A and B are shown apart, each in its own frame.
Chain A
Amino acid sequence: MSGLITEPNLGAPDDFYEALIAMHQGLDEARSAKVNAKLILLLANHVGDLGVLREAMRLAREGA
């Protein structure tokens, strides 16, 4: 198994979601896209495990 956690794992889900939305506040679409990209890159490095990242990419792509 890839080891990607899809069960609840966030200590404070509502706080996280609020912070995610706040991160984009006041940005146009192009800037938001870049901020999202940076966030993905930072988190990917933190995760480190390519198997986990590939599994997350597969799930993200599903239905797209």
Chain B
Amino acid sequence: MPETYTQPRFAYVRSPDQSAATPVRHSVIVVGAGPVGLAAAMDLALHGIPAVVLDDDDTVSVGSRAICYAKRTLEILDRLGCGQPVCDRGVSWNVGKVFFQDRLVYSFNLLPEEGHRRPAFVNLQQYHFEDILVARARELAVIDLRWRSKVVDVKRHADRVELQIHTPDGGYALACDWLIVADGARSPVRHALGLESKGQVFRDHFLIADVIMKAEFPAERWFWFDPPFHRNQSTLLHRQADNVWRIDFQLGRDADPEEEKKPERVIPRIRAMLGDDRPFELEWVSVYTFQCRRMERFRHGRVIFAGDAAHQVSPFGARGANSGIQDTDNLVWKLALVLAGRAPEQLLDTYDAERVRAADENLLNSTRSTDFITPKTPMDRVFRDATLELAHTHPFARRLVNSGRLSVPATLRTSALNTADAPTARFTGPMIPGAPAADAPLRSGEKDAWLLDGLGGGFDLLLFAPGDNFVAPDAADLAALGRDSIPVRVTIVVPHGRGALRAPAGCRVFEDVAGFAEKRYDGRPGSVYLLRPDQHVCARWRRFDAAAVRRAVRRATCTDSADDVRVAA
């Protein structure tokens, strides 16, 4: 067991639901109190929707699994109210280095520009990460966390889902309008429903050793191909919190997992890597293989799958937990609108469409990384080594080296919720419809602020100030958007030094102190962006037009045809 960490035990508390004569019905039940289930419950809570969270265990992750949390995840957690403690507790990093045999091949910076609140990645042991999420979930009083509550049966009906739950007090039944399934890669709920996650099984074994040591290595991701201390295999080193370092050794196909886990096998491998002089202690050891697979669909009526339960990738690229949290970011605002009767159920099918596509992008990237790291034939190996040798001296080959394409959020290019740019708009840069909004440092009065901090949860209109004054009817039209049934909050960005601009009632004004917002959004005066509650761009124009904004909101919520609106039960 870990030396630097004591596993918490969360008390099982009997719920009044267990004494009810008939199954109590809830709006939303979440299965799984891991990072994905907790993120879903927190997001629902911020929409005022109480969720019951069922977890079969009474603690956080045993041992460290996920360790790298990507910038986008940190931004989502900022919106959920726990990004800062994750950053404070973890180790921030931006730089990766790739070694081949005994030489550095190249290094890369995943965030080579200023003006972002969050780094490319924060490394943190999964148990610390979950601790922080559980603490935040407990602050949000509407979340009903039920430990030692194992879902043993699930029945789908047209108007509800019924669950059988096993607890230390025996069984009870619950019903819900919507079930979010975030119970991990093995997903007992998926099995109970007879649904499959299909894909590719990889045969290579990998050894994880988390070691405690004092080391002066910088907080960077170091990846070795065929190093002298571990010939013909790869090794990955990451720094985590509390002087714990993650070492991940590729073991090959024929390794015996039980043998490889023994300290007398593990310690010599680490000695060979670190040298004989460096004292270290073993914190955690495990041997894993992995699969790259997904469910065909993530929405099955009122049962919606997220995270590893829905899709599973190799660990190279940190695309597991990160994509799971993006799933909930995508899902929860849609579910909240459906539950409020403001959008039809078909909006939930766009969760399926958008996140299946994102999962395919993650699967493709993670499969390609795996193929590079674990060549399957002698010729694969020849090309791999040739690429690495060329990369020493030739920049082009560095782009081919694939030690993991690290998690970046999916750009929802093909989403039906996007409104296409007018051809005359001629926007440049990456903030196309479907893109996750880029951050920028701003100022509000005397206070520093971040753009993303002010966005999300509901629809946002980002307006780059068209001039010194807003004249009616624009000012009145802007203010009126906030009173729509699906309200749009207005944020006005003004150039540096123009912070005194008088904003229309109900609109916020931020100064673009360093010009990053204008640059990142191609925000010449008058430009307008419409952002979804998950901070993805869904429409943009060169000038404000309230009718166009409302059409785009209807499109982004599947409410553009009145016939389609069926108010959910």
Which A residues are closer than 8 A to B by beta carbons?
A: 30, 33-34, 37-38, 40-42, 45
B382–A34 touching, CB < 8 Å? yes
Closest CB in chain A relative to B517 CB, distance in Å: 35
* Chain B residues whose C-beta falls within 8 Å of the C-beta of A34 in the assembled complex: 382, 385-386, 389
Q: Does B425 contact A (CB under 8 A)?
A: no
Which of A30, A33, A38 contacts B390 (CB under 8 A)? A38
A42 near B390 with CB under 8 A, answer: yes
How many B residues face the partner with a CB closer than 8 A? 12
The answer on a CB contact under 8 Å between B382 and A41 is no
Does A38 lie within 8 Å of B396, measured CB to CB? no
Q: Once the chains bind, are A38 and B379 in contact (CB under 8 Å)?
A: no
**Contacts from B to A (Cβ < 8 Å):** 379, 382-383, 385-387, 389-390, 394, 396-397, 400
26 A/B residue pairs, CB under 8 Å, sorted by A: A30-B382, A33-B379, A33-B382, A34-B382, A34-B385, A34-B386, A34-B389, A37-B382, A37-B383, A37-B385, A37-B386, A37-B387, A38-B386, A38-B389, A38-B390, A40-B383, A41-B383, A41-B386, A41-B387, A41-B390, A41-B397, A41-B400, A42-B390, A42-B394, A45-B396, A45-B397
User: B-side binding surface: helix, strand, loop or mixed?
Assistant: helix
Q: Chain B's nearest CB lies how many Å from the CB of A9?
A: 22
Minimal beta-carbon separation of A40 from chain B (angstroms): 8
Most buried by B among A34, A41, A42: A41
Among residues of A, the one whose C-beta sits closest to the C-beta of B378 is A33
With a CB–CB cut-off of 8 A, which chain A residues contact B382? 30, 33-34, 37
Alpha-carbon distance between A42 and B393 when the two chains are bound, in angstroms: 12
Least Cβ–Cβ distance between B105 and chain A, in angstroms: 14
How far is A64 from B396 in the complex, measured between Cα atoms in Å? 29
| Chain A residue nearest to B389 in the complex (CB) | A38
Q: In this complex, which of B385, B386, B397 has the most chain A Cβ atoms within 10 angstroms of its Cβ?
A: B386
Nearest neighbor of A45 in chain B, beta-carbon distance: B396
When chains A and B are docked, how far (Å) is the Cα of A45 from the Cα of B383?
14
Once the chains are docked, how many angstroms separate the CA of A5 from the CA of B181? 54
Q: Which residues of A contact B385 (CB under 8 A)?
A: 34, 37
Shortest Cβ distance from residue B402 to the other chain A in the assembled complex, whole angstroms: 13
A37 to B389, CA, bound (A): 11
CA distance A27 to B350 in the complex (A): 57
Q: Which residues of chain B are near A38, meaning CB under 8 Å?
A: 386, 389-390
Chain A residue contacts of B389, Cβ below 8 A: 34, 38
What is the bound-complex CA distance between A40 and B400, given in angstroms?
13
Question: Measured between C-beta atoms, what is the minimum distance from B45 to chain A in Å?
Answer: 47
Assembly CA distance A20 to B400 (angstroms): 24
Residues of B within 8 A of A33 (CB): 379, 382
Residues of B contacting A40 in the complex (Cβ-Cβ under 8 angstroms): 383
Q: Look across to chain A and name the residue whose beta carbon is closest to the beta carbon of B400.
A: A41
Q: Give Cα distance in the complex from A30 to B386, angstroms.
A: 11
Docked Cα-Cα span, A40 to B387, in Å, equals 10
Q: How many angstroms between the C-alpha atoms of A15 and B291 in the bound complex?
A: 50
When distances are taken between beta carbons in the complex, the residues of chain A under 8 Å from B394 are: 42
In the assembly, what is the distance between CA of A38 and CA of B392, in Å? Answer: 13
- Give complex CA distance A38, B389 in Å: 9
Q: Which 6 interchain pairs have the tightest Cβ spacing?
A: A37-B386, A45-B396, A38-B386, A33-B382, A37-B383, A37-B382
- Of chain B, the residue at the smallest CB distance from A39 is B386
Could you tell me the distance in whole angstroms from the C-beta of A44 to the nearest C-beta in chain B?
9
Query: Shortest distance in angstroms between A8's beta carbon and chain B's nearest beta carbon?
Result: 28
**Cα(A30)–Cα(B378), bound, Å:** 10
A45 CA to B400 CA in the complex, in Å?
10
**Chain A: minimal CB distance from B530 (Å):** 35
